[in-house]
Amino acid sequence: MKAWVERALPGGTIEGSPLGLWLAFNPGVASSFAAEAPAGTVLAVTVLITTAVAGALWRTAPAAGLLRGVALAAILGGAVANLIDRAPDGRVTDYLHTGWWSTFDLAGVFIVWGGLLIVALS
C-alpha cells in the first residue's frame, strides 16, 4: 500500500467525504507522538511492543475466545505492518484523512479497532 500511495499521491491529495487521501509521513507513533525521538528508539520500542502483543496472542489465544483472538490479531497485524513500513526509512506512510482527525493508515485502523474491541470485551 505504501508504494502505491507514494506513487499516486506525490505531494497531493484526493479530497473525499467523509474520507480523503492525503500523503503524510509520520516519524513518531500514534498522531505523531514522539516524532522528535530518534528513529532507532521509536523502531526499538515498536519492536518491543509488537513482540509483547505477539506473546500475549500466543499465550492467550487457546482460551481467549474468538472475538478476543480477532482483536489481538488485528492489533498484531497492524503493528507488524507498521514495523515493515517504518523499517526502511524510520517513518510510517499515512494516507487516510478525515479533516477532523490526524492523517492515518490502514494499519492504524486495525490497531485502534482491535484495542476498542478488547476494551469492549473487558
Domain range for residue 98?
Answer: 37-121
Flag whether the pTM goes above 0.75: yes
Inside any domain, residue 95: yes
Inside any domain, residue 8: no
| Phi (first) and psi of residue 92, to 5 degrees | -100, 140
pLDDT at 114 (0 to 100): 95
Inside any domain, residue 28: no
Inside any domain, residue 60: yes
Inside any domain, residue 94: yes
Cβ proximity of 113 and 84 under 8 Å: no
Rounded distance, CA 118 to CA 1, Å?
27
User: How many domains would you assign to the chain?
Assistant: 1
Inside any domain, residue 7: no
Inside any domain, residue 21: no
| Phi (first) and psi of residue 14, to 5 degrees | -125, 110
Rounded distance, CA 69 to CA 88, Å?
30
pLDDT at 78 (0 to 100): 94
pLDDT at 11 (0 to 100): 67
pLDDT in tens, the chain (122 residues): 778 888 888 667 777 778 888 888 888 887 777 777 888 888 898 899 899 989 988 888 788 889 988 998 999 999 999 999 988 988 898 888 887 788 889 999 999 999 999 999 98
